[in-house]
A and B are shown apart, each in its own frame.
Chain A
Amino acid sequence: MTEEAAGLHLRGVSYRYAGTDRRVLQDVDLDVPAGRVLGVVGRNDAGKSTLCLVAAALAPGVIGGRLEGQVSIDGVDSRSFLPHEAAQRVGILFQNPETQLSGTAATVFEEVAFGPRNLGLPLADLVERVEEALDQLGIVDLAPRDPQRLSGGQAQLVALASVLALRPGILVLDEPTSQLDPAGTRLVGDALARLAASGRAAVLVAEHKTDLLERLADDVVVMDAGRVVISAPARDALADGRLLELGVTPPARVSISRAAAAAGVETRLAGAAWT
């Protein structure tokens, strides 16, 4: 695998769900090289969640539908993977922490071990992976706890740890904080920021909280009606004047700077140029 091929690359990708003719994704081009974080924003129904499913090879691999174009995972076409093979290359985290826990584990340790156990890994290897995943997210102290008795933020971190335990080179996060309260959002946001800064994985994160995205992402794409309409470094994309009309609320920093500028007040919030 060449260095350019590592990570996630989409070329001319369109996707239709089974039983419909409507293209939910249309001619999408994206690159998420290893060690980079790409943010995805857009209004509801812009195609963000579908993009996550396609990027994680769950669509069409598990849910069916019709995929056109090419989704390349570490240089290999996503259609050539079985679901459990894809899971070891691309990890995906969904919105709702409750639905991602297996519900069959007595402790967080066993919950995080769920994926590695499915692979039949030797016990020593499994323990090493679980401890590493818990350590990466700073939740080692949760290991003996009952997964059903965690806060929303803690449960989401446990779900993420269970994905990390499969050691994927690519992470896809589908609005990981959308169902969390402010404390949970801060907890998960801090863990994601550490993960992003470690540069271990290529990360695609769909997130409507642009303040969080500004902390995490190197680059941002804005989607509308299944198409990528803005693609730029995060600071530029999140300051683009078209965001509001595309249904995206700019980060507070941008909004405040604009309001201050309109009132003739100078602020030091403004960094890079925005329109």
Chain B
Amino acid sequence: MAAVAFAVRQWTGPVSMLVVVAVIAVSAGIARRTVPFALATIPLVASILLVNTFLFPGAHDVLLRLGPFSATGTGLAAALQATLRVVAFALSVAVFSLTTSTDDLLSDLERRGVGRRAIYVIGSAIGMIPRMIERAGEIADSQRARGLDTEGSAWRRVRGVVPLAGPMISGALSEVEERTLALEARAFGAAARRTVIRSHPDAQGERALRWAVFVGTVALIGLALSGLLVLP
């Protein structure tokens, strides 16, 4: 569904996605928890607004002049549309991650016949994030204990990245072989279809709704891209 925000042009795509995501977030009771995801887009949104508003190619409807730069109405509209797309996408990712347990997602993918290697890659990538954060904290603490200055000015922080990134990367690489061997030692290469040990209730109504959303999304994108449906 998040693709609608990008695939359907003008205002309809991003605005409709924002409405849908907001309704889901409120009805699921997670609206407040999506705020950090929206805030995380601020740096990107700020650059989109500035670049499009002041540097939109071919726009002449000047709203404001700041030295050599001119803000245009066309640029501002394009910037707001792009901003809505980014925020709608970020919020749809937020809603997905806040409402879907990783374990349930993986076991459902497995039940649907997705290969064990793909499942492992997805699962370990998701699981790796908190472990990497934890390890980064440990490395930062140990480097600070040896005199590394990782706080203060931006330049000091940048200089502190190298002594932190080095052990992170070398540590992760050195573990790859042992992880691979440990997987092989647990019959990861067996050809049999993996036993499924979690089952999820999947009501007929929910299945029908999922299909309706999927078909509706594909149809909307198809009609919008082909020009058969002209939206504001």
Q: Do A and B come from one complex?
A: yes
Residues of A bordering B, CB below 8 Å: 53, 56, 58, 62-63, 82-84, 87-88, 91-92, 94, 96, 98-100, 102-106, 110, 113-123, 126, 148, 159, 162-163, 166
Contact with B186, one of A110, A123, A148, A163 (Cβ below 8 angstroms): A163
Q: How far is the CA of A248 from the CA of B210 in the complex (A)?
A: 65
**B153 part of interface (Cβ distance < 8 Å):** no
What are 12 inter-chain pairs, A to B, with CB distance below 8 A?
A87-B187, A91-B185, A118-B116, A118-B187, A119-B187, A120-B192, A120-B194, A120-B195, A122-B195, A123-B197, A126-B195, A159-B182
B184–A103 contact, CB under 8 A?
A: no
Q: Write the nearest CB–CB distance from B162 to chain A, whole angstroms.
A: 25
In the complex, which residue of chain A has the Cβ closest to the Cβ of B184?
A83
Contact with B189, one of A83, A114, A126 (Cβ below 8 angstroms): A83
User: A-B pairs with the 7 shortest C-beta distances?
Assistant: A120-B192, A104-B123, A115-B186, A84-B190, A84-B187, A106-B103, A103-B127
Q: Write the nearest CB–CB distance from B224 to chain A, whole angstroms.
A: 38
Contact with A113, one of B180, B193, B197 (Cβ below 8 angstroms): B197
Contacts of A88 in B (CB 8 A): 187
Q: Write the nearest CB–CB distance from A191 to chain B, whole angstroms.
A: 18
Contacts of A96 in B (CB 8 A): 175, 178
Contact with B194, one of A91, A106, A118, A122 (Cβ below 8 angstroms): A118
A102–B183 contact, CB under 8 A?
A: yes
Contact with B192, one of A63, A103, A119 (Cβ below 8 angstroms): A119
Which residues, 170 to 209 on B, are CB-close (under 8 Å) to A? 175, 177-195, 197
B197–A110 contact, CB under 8 A?
A: yes
Contacts of B130 in A (CB 8 A): 148
B197–A118 contact, CB under 8 A?
A: no
Q: Write the nearest CB–CB distance from A140 to chain B, whole angstroms.
A: 17
Contacts of A121 in B (CB 8 A): 195
Interface centre among B116, B124, B179 (most CB of A within 10 A): B179
Q: How many A-B residue pairs have CB under 8 A?
A: 103
**B120 part of interface (Cβ distance < 8 Å):** yes
Do A63 and B181 contact each other (CB < 8 Å), given the known contacts A120-B190, A123-B197, A148-B131?
yes
B124–A104 contact, CB under 8 A?
A: yes
Q: Residues of B within 8 Å of A, CB-based: how many?
A: 33
Q: How far is the CA of A118 from the CA of B123 in the complex (A)?
A: 15
Q: Write the nearest CB–CB distance from A206 to chain B, whole angstroms.
A: 15
Contacts of A62 in B (CB 8 A): 180-181, 184
Q: Write the nearest CB–CB distance from B103 to chain A, whole angstroms.
A: 4
Do A84 and B183 contact each other (CB < 8 Å), given the known contacts A99-B175, A110-B197?
no
B178–A94 contact, CB under 8 A?
A: yes
B178–A99 contact, CB under 8 A?
A: yes
In the complex, which residue of chain B has the Cβ closest to the Cβ of A166?
B187
Contacts of B186 in A (CB 8 A): 87, 102, 114-115, 118, 162-163, 166
Contacts of B180 in A (CB 8 A): 62
In the complex, which residue of chain B has the Cβ closest to the Cβ of A109?
B197
Known: A83-B184, A106-B103, A119-B190. 9 other contacts (CB 8 A): A56-B185, A58-B184, A84-B188, A103-B124, A105-B103, A106-B102, A113-B197, A120-B195, A163-B185
Contacts of A118 in B (CB 8 A): 116, 186-188, 190, 192, 194
**B119 part of interface (Cβ distance < 8 Å):** yes
Do A123 and B195 contact each other (CB < 8 Å), given the known contacts A104-B120, A104-B124?
yes
Contacts of B116 in A (CB 8 A): 118
A117–B185 contact, CB under 8 A?
A: no
**B24 part of interface (Cβ distance < 8 Å):** no
Contacts of A99 in B (CB 8 A): 175, 178-179, 182
Contacts of A102 in B (CB 8 A): 120, 123-124, 183, 186
Contacts of A119 in B (CB 8 A): 187, 190, 192, 195
Q: How far is the CA of A238 from the CA of B123 in the complex (A)?
A: 45
Contacts of B230 in A (CB 8 A): none
Contacts of B192 in A (CB 8 A): 118-120
Q: How far is the CA of A101 from the CA of B123 in the complex (A)?
A: 12
In the complex, which residue of chain B has the Cβ closest to the Cβ of A130?
B197
**B77 part of interface (Cβ distance < 8 Å):** no
In the complex, which residue of chain A has the Cβ closest to the Cβ of B186?
A115
B190–A92 contact, CB under 8 A?
A: no
Q: Write the nearest CB–CB distance from B122 to chain A, whole angstroms.
A: 8
